[in-house]
């Protein structure tokens, strides 16, 4: 076994069906008595429910959380929080709302409890990406990590199936890259394999019926595992490509992950131990890149960058950007091969062995 380092980041987790009913108890446990409630405009009814459960502990609300955590939005929420004398933060929603809660926590030191309703996994990470003047800056530090996470499976029943798939594939991508991460370790590898397995089993069941609670439970459990992987180790080629495509070409976050993942796996096929674990998690002997591509297709996820609005004449620039300052990766980054990979991903072609 290779030498490794492992750090457990302290977050309290409460998981179950209907666990939102414990919200007040969990806020009290954090030592907060005056909280601000955060959601997106699409989830205002969830803010209503949270306030009902919190009673006099809820002193303010902000329901304009926005994708990519714009600093101007954070400042607006901060003003409301300060005016109300809030001493704690409750965020309910996906990565966008959790990002806002993290941004406020980082600036104020207030304890942050989050109730995730997608599978993106931000709740388990000390990572925050903020946008200001069109630039996204990402930082990683312990003060960003939420102190408490309340996973309520019932709140994920309303996540549309298409969003569940892209969010799930986004989560799988965290686990895949954790398996060949430079800081990889045996504990994270176990979590990653189990996280991939959870989604590979749950997503086809949700395709048949998105309201099957046991499948939703398995998917949310997978989100916890995959998010933990993202929080524990650094990411590689796949995330570099997605950050480049999202940052420079404005492609949508989760959908871009869905398209790129099979191609990134093909490129990194040299990481044989990781590939073995991915195959085992997917329950197949086939090449994991092709199996992942087939799974995405079967689930109706996007498989072509051109369908996400990527201009064909931007591919060469994307390859240049991805090859400059690459993240650590098991296989050296060769610019021309990255361009070939992106051309296939643009067209929606399956990953080919020449990527590997
Ligand atoms: P999101 O939070 O932007 O949510 C998308 C939409 O779905 C929103 O309108 C939201 O209100 C709605 N929604 C969420 N849950 C729902 C539910 N259960 N039912 C119905 N509607 C629901 O999407 P996301 O993919 O969770 O988050 C994406 C953002 O999170 C990106 O900005 C990404 O960069 C960030 N992110 C950060 C990290 C990190 O560790 N810092 C990790 C993953 C993602």
Atom of ligand 1 nearest to the CA of 246: 34
Long-range contacts of 347-353 (CB under 8 A, 24+ apart): 347/304, 347/306, 348/259, 348/303, 348/304, 348/305, 348/306, 348/307, 350/262, 350/290, 350/293, 351/262, 351/263, 351/265, 351/266, 351/289, 351/290, 351/293, 352/266, 353/266, 353/287
Start-to-end CA span in the chain (Å): 25
How do residues 196-242 score in pLDDT, each as one tens digit? 999 999 999 999 999 999 999 999 999 999 999 999 999 999 999 99
Cβ 193 vs Cβ 138: under 8 Å: no
* For the chain, percent of residues with pLDDT exceeding 70: 99
In degrees, rounded to 5, the angle at the alpha carbon of residue 214 between the alpha carbons of residues 212 and 217 is 110
Pocket test of ligand 1: the residue of 68, 120, 224 to mutate, having most ligand atoms within 8 Å of its CB, is 120
Which among 98, 90, 100, 99 is positioned nearest to 27, based on CA atoms?
90
At residue 245, the pLDDT reads 92
Q: Is 167 in the pocket of ligand 1 (CB under 6 A)?
A: yes
User: Is the alpha carbon torsion for 290, 291, 292, 297 positive or negative?
Assistant: positive
Identify the H or E element spanning 292. helix 288-298
Which of 222-241 are b and which e, b meaning 16 or more Cβ less than 10 Å from the residue's Cβ? bbbbbbbbbbbbebbbbbbb
Q: Model confidence at 354, in pLDDT bands (50, 70, 90)?
A: low
At residue 49, the pLDDT reads 98
How do residues 1-60 score in pLDDT, each as one tens digit? 778 888 777 799 999 999 999 999 999 999 999 999 999 999 999 999 999 999 999 999
Atom of ligand 1 nearest to the CA of 128: 41
SS3 246: helix
Q: For the chain, where do the domains classified as CATH 3.40.50.1970 start and end?
A: 12-156
Query: DSSP letters along 329-341, please?
Result: -SS---HHHHHHH
Q: Which fold has domain 161-355?
A: Dehydroquinate synthase-like, alpha domain (1.20.1090)
Pocket test of ligand 1: the residue of 41, 98, 118 to mutate, having most ligand atoms within 8 Å of its CB, is 118
Atom of ligand 1 nearest to the CA of 254: 25
Q: What is the dihedral of CA 299, 305, 306, 307, to 10 degrees?
A: 30
Burial class of 321 by CB neighbour count within 10 A (0 to 12, 13 to 18, 19+):
buried
Cβ 113 vs Cβ 92: under 8 Å: no
At residue 59, the pLDDT reads 98
Query: In the predicted model, is pLDDT for residue 355 greater than 60?
Result: no
Q: What is the mean pLDDT of residues 133-151?
A: 91
Pocket test of ligand 1: the residue of 66, 96, 101, 166 to mutate, having most ligand atoms within 8 Å of its CB, is 96
Q: For the chain, where do the domains classified as CATH 1.20.1090.10 start and end?
A: 161-355
Identify the H or E element spanning 130. strand 127-132
Output the average pLDDT for the chain: 95
Which CATH number is associated with domain 12-156?
Answer: 3.40.50.1970
Strands 135-140 and 127-132, sheet pairing: antiparallel
User: What's the rounded Cα separation, in Å, for the pair 140 and 131?
Assistant: 15
At residue 5, the pLDDT reads 82
Q: Model confidence at 353, in pLDDT bands (50, 70, 90)?
A: low
CA 89, distance to chain mean position in Å, is 20
* For the chain, percent of residues with pLDDT exceeding 90: 88
Q: Which residues contact 220 (CB under 8 A, 6 or more apart)?
A: 15, 116, 119, 151, 153, 156
Predicted model pTM: 0.95
Atom of ligand 1 nearest to the CA of 138: 41
Q: What is the mean pLDDT of residues 264-269?
A: 96
Strands 112-116 and 35-38, sheet pairing: unpaired
How do residues 309-350 score in pLDDT, each as one tens digit? 999 999 999 999 999 988 899 999 999 999 999 999 999 999
Query: DSSP letters along 108-129, please?
Result: H---EEEEE-SS--GGG-SEEE
Q: What is the mean pLDDT of residues 57-80?
A: 96
At residue 8, the pLDDT reads 75
Cβ 164 vs Cβ 202: under 8 Å: no
How do residues 164-190 score in pLDDT, each as one tens digit? 999 999 999 999 999 999 999 999 999
């Amino acid at each position: 076994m290779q030498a490794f380092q492992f750090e457990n980041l302290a977050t309290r987790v409460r998981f179950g069906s209907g666990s939102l009913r414990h919200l007040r108890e969990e806020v009290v446990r954090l030592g907060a008595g005056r909280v601000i409630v955060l959601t997106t405009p699409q989830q205002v009814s969830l803010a209503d429910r949270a306030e009902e459960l919190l009673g006099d502990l809820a002193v303010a609300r902000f329901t304009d959380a926005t994708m990519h955590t714009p600093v101007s939005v954070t400042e607006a929420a901060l003003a409301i929080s300060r005016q109300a004398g809030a001493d704690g933060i409750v965020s309910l929603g996906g990565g966008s709302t959790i990002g806002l809660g993290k941004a406020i926590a980082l600036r104020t030191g207030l304890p942050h409890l989050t109730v995730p309703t997608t599978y993106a996994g931000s709740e388990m990470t000390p990572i925050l990406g903020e946008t200001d003047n069109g630039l996204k800056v990402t930082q990683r530090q312990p003060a960003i990590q939420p102190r408490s996470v309340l996973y309520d499976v019932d709140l994920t029943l309303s996540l549309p199936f298409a969003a569940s798939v892209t969010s799930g594939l986004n989560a799988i991508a965290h686990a895949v890259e954790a398996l060949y991460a430079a800081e990889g370790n045996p504990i994270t590898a176990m979590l990653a394999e189990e996280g991939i397995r959870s989604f590979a089993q749950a997503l086809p069941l949700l395709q048949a019926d998105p309201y099957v609670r046991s499948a939703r439970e398995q998917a949310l459990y997978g989100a916890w595992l995959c998010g933990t992987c993202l929080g524990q180790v650094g990411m590689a080629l796949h995330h570099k490509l997605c950050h480049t495509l999202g940052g420079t070409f404005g492609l949508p976050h989760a959908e871009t992950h869905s398209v790129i993942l099979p191609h990134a796996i093909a490129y990194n096929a040299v990481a044989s131990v990781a590939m073995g674990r991915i195959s085992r998690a997917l329950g197949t002997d086939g090449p994991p890149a092709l199996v992942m591509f087939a799974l995405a297709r079967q689930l109706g996820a996007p498989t072509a960058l051109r369908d996400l609005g990527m201009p064909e004449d931007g591919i060469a620039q994307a390859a240049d950007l991805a090859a400059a300052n690459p993240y650590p990766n098991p296989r050296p980054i060769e610019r021309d091969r990255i361009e070939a990979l992106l051309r296939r991903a643009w067209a929606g072609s399956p990953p080919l062995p020449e990527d590997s």
